[in-house]
Structure 1
Amino acid sequence: MSIGSTLLLLDAPNNLEFGIDFNSWKVGPKFRGMRLIPPGIHFVHYSLNEFKTGFFINCTNETMVYKWSSENEQFEPFQLDIIPNYDEYLGLYPKEMTLWKEHFEYINMKTVNRMISNHVNNGSSSLYSVVLEKELQRDLDKLALATNSEPITVPTKEKTDWVNFTSLNLKYSYPPNATPSEITKYSVDKSYLLSLVLDILAEFSITFILFHLGQFYDAFEHWKTLVKVITSSIDFIESENDTFKKLIKLFIKQIKEFPPDFDLEFIHWSCINLVENCLECGVETDFVLYLNKKFGWDLLNETEQPLVVE
């Protein structure tokens, strides 16, 4: 008996680009889904007419059925009394699973369901990507300001799902009723903010997956916030050293996935900040060596230079 789940995607439209985890393909008219998906959590993503969306699935060696909704332009859960045999129309999950294992290691459905509301009833969660709408709205707002005219609102597709990121305000990073000394300390040390994230390893992973594979703009903004918090949490670095080491290893894996033309300035300064904060914690060697080899950054010397403050 084959070990792995089957994902049936019925009535898939023409010109659909389908992907699961770090793999994607342009599918043909006979495409009906994928089989032999290894046990664990996976991210299914697809795009049609420039909009990209996706959902998480928790595979436990079963068959999951989705059907394309022309009205909502997305796959939705579908019930079948009898599961047809579509094996000849199903793609095989790629044997090479290194990236999936590396990036999904800390993801669990409890955190997925906490972050993504309105999850469907078969152990998966979905989202709607709004990156194109946000960019268009930003341009329209600028145009209205320049011409002194009334703002124009972009007509948007109705969103039935939303991602509930942990709220982190970098300007107010100290506890409620903090003393003056605590305000001073935690305005620099973001460890209090980091303590608000219920499962930092899972949320950091999920956020990266949502923007890297799902092209979800809000996830990219939250990922940048998490990077700022992680690299500035001095108390956390000292008190939660094992978790911190895992976060840094995960951060390196994420950086490896960025395309060559990606603007790395934000990451560069965050890495300088991180090295300054963990020079004595004994985990910076691999991190510094990798960034030096990858980008030519001499972080140990750069920490002596003035930092750019936003």
Structure 2
Amino acid sequence: MDADTALELVKKGAALLFLDVPQHTLLGIDTQMFSVGPNFKGIKMIPPGPHFIYYSSSNRGGSEFSPMIGFFVDLNPSEVIVRKWNIQEERLVKVPEEEEERYAQAVRSLEFDKYLGPYTLSQFGEWKTLSNYITKSVVERIEPIGADISVIHEPDVLENGPKTAMEEALSEQLRNANIPQSDDTLKKRGCYYTKIPRLIKKKGAISQDLTSLNLDKTSLLESLLVKDYGGNEDLLLGELQFAFIAFLMGQSLEAFFQWKAIVSLLFGCTDAPLHSRSRLFTKFMKVLYNQLKYALHKGQTDNNAGAKGPLTLLDDSFLSADSFLQHLCKEFFSLVLEAPVVDGDLLTWTRSLKELLETSLGWVFQQNNGDGVFYEEDDEFAPVVVMTDE
């Protein structure tokens, strides 16, 4: 990149100025993470739009890390956001408005330029595939103004309701993580995620109807789209992406449960993907494909234990062969791939997701025995096919 192009990107791009951040602090923006050095003051050349900032402070030697803290921002061209490290709270806090404007002007005048690392533009495309439905309105709708997303503020998330084996492991990991208890002045409100019922209840409905409603969650999906999303499918997908990013990068347990709830809701629909909402489900398959592709790639390439932080949420149990995701995918793949009529784009992305999981994780969903009978290779309930002499 020549000097003139770089200067233009610096002037038009947004910037983050972080003051007094201790050395060895892990700091990330979007899919990029690095360790803070002695001359680090922030990041420049950031493309406008939504971004996720997350960080974890360390001990003096950089060998132990505190729980991750993160927040979303929606940046305008040439905007400068200033945060200062608070030693007592061990987090980044806002500075007074006058002070922020003074620092912002200094950044625009290039006074801090040599202390600002460039945003890696080659990774921006990857970030867009994970966040293309996240808009300013999505962020404002879910994230309280000025609040941090952190497991520090989520001590009771795993205390209510049934848990899978993975969630039990996360609960134990959380209890053993030595997370400090915040006093009342530091407690932040949780994110305003949409409440998604695990079971559908309808007053006056007979048990047979309730069973049907819970076997096909299309009616629940339609109700939520109207009541909570104003009929806008993309807002639902934006919340799905918000939760995934806050879960995987920000290590929020609350976000994991919201991501799981939305995925379970959509995979629990049998009528909508084949009829009324095929376009939504095509987009959902593409979103989920990009999320799992990124998660799998991250798990294979990120060998730095410190960079993963104190709670590694994407552990083996999350993508194990008996995970909730595997069971949901199995049912949905059968629904779409065996349907007599299905939207072509939905079929393509369903096949792509199935292939990704089969090749990357070795998951086996179905096997065709050549006679039109499908069964799972290790399924004890698979039909026994007896060949006759006829």
TM range, normalised to the smaller chain? Answer: 0.7 to 0.9
Does residue 236 of structure 2 align to residue 210 of structure 1? no
The 8 Å contact of residues 150 and 251 in structure 2, kept in 1 or not, is answered as: no
Does residue 234 of structure 2 align to residue 168 of structure 1? no
For residues 180 and 37 of structure 2, the distance between their equivalents in structure 1, rounded to whole angstroms, comes to: 31
Q: Which amino acid aligns with 1:50?
A: S
Q: What is the deviation of 1:179? A: 5.5
1:59 alignment partner, one of 75, 78, 83: 75
Q: What is the deviation of 1:71? A: 2.9
- What SS does the aligned partner of 2:33 have? strand
Q: What is the deviation of 1:285? A: 2.4
Does residue 85 of structure 2 align to residue 68 of structure 1? yes
Q: What is the deviation of 1:177? A: 5.3
Q: What is the deviation of 1:59? A: 1.3
Does residue 284 of structure 2 align to residue 226 of structure 1? no
Equivalent position of 2:13 in the other structure: 4
Equivalent position of 1:23 in the other structure: 32
Q: CA 1:231/1:135 → structure 2, altered by over 3 Å: closer, same or farther?
A: closer
Does residue 51 of structure 2 align to residue 42 of structure 1? yes
For residues 83 and 51 of structure 2, the distance between their equivalents in structure 1, rounded to whole angstroms, comes to: 15
Segments of structure 2 that go 5 or more residues without pairing to the other structure are 1-7, 58-64, 160-170, 230-234, 301-314, 369-373, 382-390
- Moved beyond 4 Å, runs of 4+: 131-140, 174-181, 305-308
Does residue 126 of structure 2 align to residue 126 of structure 1? no
- What SS does the aligned partner of 2:367 have? helix
TM-score (norm 2): 0.67
For residues 362 and 23 of structure 2, the distance between their equivalents in structure 1, rounded to whole angstroms, comes to: 44
Equivalent position of 1:240 in the other structure: 277
The 8 Å contact of residues 69 and 150 in structure 2, kept in 1 or not, is answered as: yes
Does residue 115 of structure 2 align to residue 93 of structure 1? no
The 8 Å contact of residues 23 and 35 in structure 2, kept in 1 or not, is answered as: no
TM-score (norm 1): 0.83
Segments of structure 1 that go 5 or more residues without pairing to the other structure are 143-153
2:181 alignment partner, one of 156, 165, 178: 156
For residues 180 and 90 of structure 2, the distance between their equivalents in structure 1, rounded to whole angstroms, comes to: 16
The 8 Å contact of residues 131 and 216 in structure 1, kept in 2 or not, is answered as: no
Q: What is the deviation of 1:243? A: 1.3
- What SS does the aligned partner of 1:159 have? coil
- How many residue pairs get aligned? The number is 293
For residues 127 and 269 of structure 1, the distance between their equivalents in structure 2, rounded to whole angstroms, comes to: 29
- What SS does the aligned partner of 2:255 have? helix
The 8 Å contact of residues 115 and 164 in structure 1, kept in 2 or not, is answered as: yes
Equivalent position of 1:299 in the other structure: 365
For residues 15 and 307 of structure 1, the distance between their equivalents in structure 2, rounded to whole angstroms, comes to: 52
Q: What's the Cα RMSD here? A: 3.1
- What SS does the aligned partner of 1:285 have? helix
1:255-266, aligned counterparts within 5 Å? Answer: 255-256=292-293, 257-258=295-296, 259=299, 262-263=316-317, 264=319, 265-266=322-323
Q: Which amino acid aligns with 2:326?
A: H
Deviations 1:283-304 (A, max 9, x none): 2322223322222333233974
Q: What is the deviation of 1:176? A: 5.5
Q: Max radius of gyration: which structure?
A: 2
For residues 330 and 80 of structure 2, the distance between their equivalents in structure 1, rounded to whole angstroms, comes to: 47
The 8 Å contact of residues 32 and 89 in structure 1, kept in 2 or not, is answered as: yes
- What SS does the aligned partner of 1:41 have? strand
Deviations 1:6-55 (A, max 9, x none): 11111212221110001100011221110010011000000014211111
